[in-house]
Structure 1
Amino acid sequence: MASELEWRRRWKPDLRACPWQPLEIGGEKYLMKTKFSIDNYEVLLTDLTSYWHEIMEENAMKKRIQKLNPSIEAPVVRILDHIKGSLEKTTKGTTLTVLFKTEGDDEKAKLSIKSELAGMPFLWHFVCSSAEKSMACNHSTVPLMAMVAELTRRQKELINIIVSKDKEIDDYKSQGARTSRKHIETTVFDETTFRNNMVTSKGFDNTVKKLGSAAFNTDGQDLYRQIMTKHAWVTRSPTKDDISDSLDDDESLNAGVGPSLPSWANRVPTSIGRGSSPDKSSPEKSPVKSPIKSPAKSPGSVGSHSAESTPTKDTELMRRQALERRLEQDDAKKQEKPKKKKKKLAF
């Protein structure tokens, strides 16, 4: 399974992950979110009572461009970039208007942008139809509840940090430390007093009067984006990419490990055993040599080996002999220093 960082690099955000942007048109306040690509866009507009939605694909967009701006010839990506910029930052000469029209059971909202493109007048209409009821929940209610919960959690974390800082300052003062300037000294933090002060503060009155219109300032938009991105991660479904990544990881872990390479159990020569180690109770005796190095003592084994000799077996024989010589040298060192703690060989 891919990590969250890898998933974020591949993930393509949808409209749900795009934060709301406040718009004030004709004295009325709206919220709008958009998702632009190189050849299409998706937009959601609300006055917090009703929601209007539009998806515009490339072919339909070309027709609308030709109808509204017949004298302008520009690539669709250039037009989209201009429309997006007009919404994000209203410049001099750019005006926004909203008109509502009821067609049967559908109420349409037409958001018009008048601006200039390359020195020429440019007009664009977002023609939005009534959005599905579920969009209000998925794009506003649930994300806003998640933002409140996350801000509450962060407030508790900050309170814990402040309490810890007060303990640290108290410890410094008990050792004679003092502030260099009297006006920067703070009182001990009390959570109950803090909450009561917030309720009676002027800032609280201003926030209530604005009814959350500042909820989607720069910080609010960033928090909304973080929450919706995390929501997409925790509610994701296993994809083919995740499965393939998992298979790739398994292959990379198993690379070079298989029947073609001997395990550690097979790497230990059969001649190494309890019987091949020297008698540690008699240090004056020389280490017992292996049968491979003593053909006179075990002619049968040598003959058998020479009869079946191959380059691979010769290499294995040399490796085993080198390992045995190293073990014999280690045993000899141990016999010279019997007082030191004996170390075990790890294979």
Structure 2
Amino acid sequence: MATSVGDTLEDDVVAIPWTSFCDKAFNCLVKHKHDAAGSSLRIYASDFIRVYEEILDQDLLLERCKELNPDLEVTAAYLSEHLSQGITKALKQTCTAATQEACMKIVTCNAGLLVMQLHTMISGVPFLWEFRMPAQTASDAFYRHVTLPMIVMIVGLQKQQEDLFALLNDKDSEISDYKRSGQHLSRKHLETKVFDAGRFRRETLTPKHLKDCLSNVHLNPFGSEAGLMYRKMMEAYKDITTSAREPETRSPKNHSSSNIPVEVVKETRETTTAMDVTRLEEEPKPHKVKKAKKRMRL
């Protein structure tokens, strides 16, 4: 059954770049979305085979906090913000005995469930959290969160390569024109060879050239630049698919500039707004608390 854009881009989470996470021998991708207005949190993970997800609303946040931290009382708003910042911090560092601010570990991982523990501190008091993410059973879950974004990235990168090649050819033509008019380089060593696209492809696709970037392909598929590219391309994809559904109000020339595969555009008919990458904000100043004999309040 064809997947609509409404199903494919059901919310802003799809446009959030994945972050690589490794615990021991397990490599996966993780991303999350914090809804400050609703004091809720969504977290997603993928082992490159399936997608795991948990949605934590206010009631579930407070219930699990009471279960795991019985001597601590917090509001759902404070808790969701603390967890969001804790996830962001934990994904930026390796979990060691010296890690104090945030540390994430995988407790359980199988075909049906992924459990990740987050260890942080609240006002100097150790705080424990468990994300219990069941594997998504929907047939299009992996397509929506992994396959489709990868298709969009591949097509976008192909377009970038074509544009770069065209720019280099234009530069070569410009230099050639200068030479024909009698111009000379001030320094001979600055002269470059005419760009050969075929040769460039052959040389950059050899195992020797790709060894470094492909040796640990699961560890960091999204660096800072790639993450920004991911978000921008998903935003562009949203705009293109929206235009494809609208009445023909633009000239054919404008529509012909789309480089998204026809099969993908036909298969997706609705879209939602992409959001900016969730960024780690400065953690709010914690409330002053004292470790009570029985309970703590925040």
Greater CA drift, 93-102 or 131-140: 93-102
**Aligned pairs for 1:122-133 within 5 A:** 122-132=127-137, 133=139
What's the CA shift for 1:126? 0.5
Distance 1:231 1:200, change over 3 A: closer
Q: Say whether 1:230 aligns with 2:228.
A: no
Q: Give the match for residue 25 of structure 2.
A: 27
Whether the aligned pair in 2 keeps the contact of 1:15 and 1:34 (CA below 8 Å) is: yes
Helix, strand or coil: the match of 1:79?
helix
Shift of 1:201: 6.6
Contact kept in structure 1, 2:22 and 2:219, CA below 8 Å: no
Match of 2:58 in 1: 58
| Aligned counterpart, 1:98 | 106
Alignment partner of 1:181 is 2:187 = yes
Specify the SS of the correspondent of 2:52. Answer: strand
Kindly provide the CA deviation profile for residues 116-141 of structure 1, in whole angstroms up to 9, marking residues without a partner as x: 12211011111111113311001111
Q: Deviations over 1:80-116 (max 9, x none)?
A: 22222222223632322112266xxx72211101111
Matched, 1:111 2:116: yes
Cα-to-partner distance string for 1:148-199 (whole Å, 9 max, x where unaligned): 1110111011100000000101111222322333332211111111111112
**Quick one: which amino acid aligns to residue 170 of structure 1?**
S
- C-alpha distance 176-101 of structure 1, shift in aligned 2 (>3 A): closer
* Correspondence for 1:68: 68
The match for 1:135 is 141
Please state whether the residue corresponding to 1:22 is helix, strand or coil.
strand
Residue 19 of structure 1 aligns to which amino acid in structure 2?
P
Give 1:163's aligned amino acid: N
Match of 1:217 among 216, 223, 233: 223
1:17–1:229 Cα contact (<8 Å) kept: yes
Kindly indicate whether the alpha-carbon contact (under 8 Å) linking 2:115 and 2:131 is maintained by their aligned counterparts in 1.
yes
Q: Answer yes or no: is the 8 Å Cα contact 2:203–2:209 preserved in 1.
A: no
Aligned Cα RMSD in Å? Answer: 2.5
Distance 1:190 1:236, change over 3 A: closer
The 1-side partners of 2:212 and 2:109 are apart by 35
Closer, same or farther: CA 144–75 of 1 in aligned 2, 3 Å: same
Task: Give the aligned residue type for 2:77.
Answer: V
Q: Describe the shift of the 1:21–1:190 C-alpha distance in structure 2 as closer, same or farther (beyond 3 A).
A: same
Residues 234, 176 of structure 1: alpha-carbon distance in 2 compared, 3 angstrom cutoff: closer
Native 8 Å contact 1:146 1:227 kept in 2: yes
Distance 1:179 1:85, change over 3 A: farther
2:125 is aligned with 1:120: yes
1:265-308 CA distances to partner (integer Å, 9 max, x unpaired)? xxxxxxxxxxxxxxxxxxxxxxxxxxxxxxxxxxxxxxxxxxxx
Checking the alignment, whether the CA contact within 8 Å between 1:21 and 1:32 is kept in structure 2 is: yes
- How much has 1:212 moved relative to structure 2? 5.4
Higher share in helix: 1
Please say which structure displays the higher CA radius of gyration: 1
Aligned residues: 225
Q: CA deviation at 1:236?
A: 4.5
Residues 191-202 of structure 1 aligned to structure 2 (within 5 Å): 191-200=197-206, 202=208
Distance 1:168 1:190 in 2: 16
Give distance in 2, aligned partners of 1:178 and 1:210: 46
CA contact (8 A) 2:153 2:230 kept: yes
Q: Does 1:37 align with 2:35?
A: yes
SS of 1:210's equivalent in the other structure is coil
Counterpart of 2:77? 77
Structure 1 window deviating more from structure 2 (121-130 vs 42-51): it is 42-51
- Mark the CA change 1:203 to 1:74 in structure 2 (over 3 Å): closer, same or farther: farther
Higher relative contact order (CA 8 A, sep 6+): 2
Matched residues in 1 for 2:51 and 2:152: separation?
Answer: 20
Unaligned runs of 5+ in 1: 1-11, 243-347
